[in-house]
């Protein structure tokens, strides 16, 4: 296992199954191995709205328990800034997995009735973004945030989907600016996009 340095804050971006969560787990394992006093907390933003998602969440939980047995999981689909503030200590590494689902929960909640003609467009910026950026900056210990890069394909059809892709792109840019390190994952391989001390 290669040793990675742990930044004060790191944003890990990539496509689906690119290795984003595995990198976050590796960082958590290394953090826990450094000291008996170290703790790791995963803030999970997924919500089990259907059977496939329930099975996916259960599979992720079981796999994570094997790969990082010392990491505790907290489920928080909406109040992300508050969850980071509540769980961050100098001895605790906080992993957020993932920003994309968090933004989905805010802008496109699965329990809302959907009607293209009557539903207003998604807000340009969620009100919760500024508190999130503050929570990252003020975290007492390291914070690792996982998110999807979905803006590399064709422009999607549908007003709401385009609004979401735009909002996620802006969120990724703002979180990247707030983080000490930004890593892009592709095929399980990391590419460092930003590294500041």
Q: Where does residue 57 rank: exposed (0-12), middle (13-18), buried (19+ CB within 10 A)?
A: middle
Cα distances from 145 to residues 4, 12, 52, 123, 176, in angstroms, run: 16, 6, 24, 22, 10
- Picking from 28, 10, 141, the residue whose alpha carbon sits closest to that of residue 86 is 141
The CA distance from 41 to 74, in Å, is 7
Positions marked catalytic? 60
CA-nearest of 36, 56, 34 to 46 is 56
Q: Which segments of 35-113 does DSSP mark as H helices, in order?
A: 51-67, 80-87, 99-107
SS3 call for 149 = coil
Q: Give the residue carrying structure tokens 């909406």.
A: 78
In the chain, which ranges are continuous DSSP H helix?
20-34, 51-67, 80-87, 99-107, 129-138, 159-178
């Amino acid at each position: 296992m290669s040793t990675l340095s742990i930044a004060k804050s790191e944003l890990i971006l990539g496509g689906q199954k690119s290795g984003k969560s595995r990198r976050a787990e590796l960082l958590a394992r290394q953090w826990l191995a450094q000291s008996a006093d170290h703790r790791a907390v995963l803030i999970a933003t997924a919500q089990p709205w259907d059977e496939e998602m329930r099975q996916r969440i259960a599979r992720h939980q079981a796999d994570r328990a094997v790969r990082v047995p010392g990491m505790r999981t907290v489920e928080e689909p909406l109040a992300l800034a508050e969850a980071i503030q509540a769980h961050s200590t100098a001895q605790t590494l906080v992993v957020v997995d993932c920003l994309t689902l968090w933004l989905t929960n805010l802008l496109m909640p699965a329990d809302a009735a959907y009607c293209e003609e009557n539903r207003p467009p998604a807000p340009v910026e969620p009100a919760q973004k500024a508190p999130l950026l503050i929570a990252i900056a003020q975290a007492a210990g390291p914070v690792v945030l996982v998110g999807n890069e979905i803006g590399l394909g064709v422009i999607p059809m549908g007003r709401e989907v385009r609004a979401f892709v735009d909002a996620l792109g802006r969120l990724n840019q703002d979180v990247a600016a707030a983080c000490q390190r930004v890593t892009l994952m592709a095929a399980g391989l990391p590419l460092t996009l930003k590294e500041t001390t």
